[in-house]
Structure 1
Amino acid sequence: MTRRAVITGIGVLAPSANGTKSFWDLLVSGQTATRRISFFDPTPFRSQVAAECDFDPLRAGLSHQQSRRMDRAAQFAVVSARESLADSGLDLERTDPTRRGVVIGSAVGCTMSLEREYVVVSDGGARWLVDESHAVPHLFDYLVPSAIAREVAWEVGAEGPVSLVSTGCTSGLDAVGRAAELVVEGSADVMVCGATDAPISPITVACFDAIKATTPRNDDPATASRPFDRTRNGFVLGEGSAVFVLEELEHARRRGAHLYAEVAGFASRANAHHMTGLRPDGVEMAEAIRVALARARSAPTEVDYVNAHGSGTKQNDRHETAAVKRSLGRHAYDTPVSSIKSMIGHSLGAIGSLEIAACALAMENGVVPPTANLREPDPECDLDYVPLRARERRVDTVLSVGSGFGGFQSAMVLRRPGRGAA
Structure 2
Amino acid sequence: MSSRIVITGIGVRAPGASGTKEFWDLLSSGRTATRRISFFDPSPYRSQVAGECDFDPESEGLSAREIRRMDRATQFAVACADDAIVDSGLEVNRLDPHRVGVSLGSAVAASTSLDVEYQILSDAGRRWTVSPEYLSPHMFDYLTPGVMPAELAWRIGAEGPVTMVSNGCTSGLDAVGNAVQVIRDGAADIMLAGATDTPITPIVVACFDAIKATTTYNNDPEHASRPFDASRNGFVLAEGSAMFVLETLEHATNRGAHIYAEVSGYATRSNAYHMTGLKKDGREMAEAIGAALAEARKNPEDLDYINAHGSGTKQNDWHETAALKRSLGLHAYETPVSSIKSMVGHSLGAIGSVEIAASLLAIENNVVPPTANLHEADPECDLDYVPVTARERRVDTVLSVGSGFGGFQSAIVLNRPGGTR
TM, length-normalised to structure 2: 0.99
**Where do 5+ consecutive residues of structure 1 fail to align?**
none
Q: Give 1:306-317 correspondences, 5 Å limit.
A: 306-317=306-317
Question: Aligned-pair distance for 1:144?
Answer: 0.7
Which amino acid letter does the alignment assign opposite residue 115 of structure 1?
D
The aligned length equals: 421
Question: What's the counterpart of residue 188 of structure 2?
Answer: 188
Residue 133 (structure 2) aligns with: 133
Aligned-partner SS, 1:247: strand
How far, CA to CA, are the matches of 2:134 and 2:248 in structure 1? 47
Secondary structure of 2:194's counterpart equals strand
Counterparts of residues 75-86 of structure 1 (less than 5 Å): 75-86=75-86
1:251 aligns with 2:215: no
Aligned: 1:179 with 2:179: yes
Any idea what SS the aligned residue of 2:80 has? helix
Corresponding position of 1:326: 326
* Amino acid in the other structure paired with 1:113: S
Q: Which runs of 4+ in 1 moved over 2 A?
A: none
Report the counterpart of residue 208 of structure 1 in structure 2.
208
Deviations 1:337-356 (A, max 9, x none): 00000000000000000000
Q: Determine the C-alpha separation between the residues in 2 that align with 1:30 and 1:4.
A: 33
Q: Which residue of 1 aligns with 2:104?
A: 104
Contact 1:9 1:84 in 2 (8 A): yes
What amino acid maps onto 1:29 in structure 2? S
Distance 1:255 1:91 in 2: 11
| In the alignment, structure 1 residue 286 sits paired with structure 2 residue 286 | yes
Matched position secondary structure for 2:151: helix
Letter in 2 for 1:348: L
Aligned to 1:369: 369
- SS at 2:292 equivalent: helix
Shift, 1:2, TM fit: 2.9
Determine the C-alpha separation between the residues in 2 that align with 1:288 and 1:166: 18
CA distance in 1, matches of 2:216, 2:419: 45
Gaps in structure 2 of 5+ consecutive residues: none
Query: CA separation in 2, counterparts of 1:419 and 1:312?
Result: 37
Residues of 1 paired with 2:184 and 2:39: CA distance?
42
Report the Cα distance in structure 2 between the residues aligned to 1:315 and 1:121, rounded to whole angstroms: 39
2:298 alignment counterpart = 298
Residue identity in the other structure for 1:307: N
1:338-392 Cα shifts (integer Å, max 9, x gaps): 0000000000000000000000000000000000000011110000000000000
The letter for the 2-side match of 1:377 is: A
* Displacement after TM superposition at 1:396 (Å): 0.9
When the two structures are superposed, what TM-score results if normalisation uses the length of structure 1? 0.99
Question: AA paired with 1:350?
Answer: A
In 1: Cα distance, 2:124 partner to 2:356 partner: 40
Within 5 Å, which residues of 2 pair with 1:115-134? 115-134=115-134
Tell me the CA shift for residue 420 of structure 1: 5.0
The letter of the residue matching 1:201 is T
Q: Which amino acid aligns with 1:328?
A: L
What SS does structure 2 have at the residue aligned with 1:253? helix
Aligned to 2:268: 268
Partner of 2:237: 237
Aligned 8 A contact 1:260 1:360 in 2: yes
Tell whether the 8 Å contact from 1:71 to 1:110 is kept in structure 2 after alignment: yes
Q: Do the aligned residues in 2 keep the contact of 1:34 with 1:345 (CA within 8 Å)?
A: yes
Counterpart secondary structure, 1:238: coil
Aligned partner of residue 25 in structure 1, secondary structure: helix
Shift of 1:185: 1.6
Partner amino acid, structure 2, of 1:361: L
1:413 paired with 2:385, answer: no
CA contact (8 A) 1:8 1:246 kept: yes
Q: Alpha-carbon deviations, 1:214-258, whole Å to 9, x = none?
A: 001101000000000000000000001000000111111111000
Q: Cα deviation per residue 1:317-343 (whole Å; 9 max; x = unaligned)?
A: 000001001111111111000000000
Q: Which amino acid aligns with 1:134?
A: Y
Q: Secondary structure at the match of 2:256?
A: coil
Q: CA shift at 1:180, angstroms?
A: 0.6
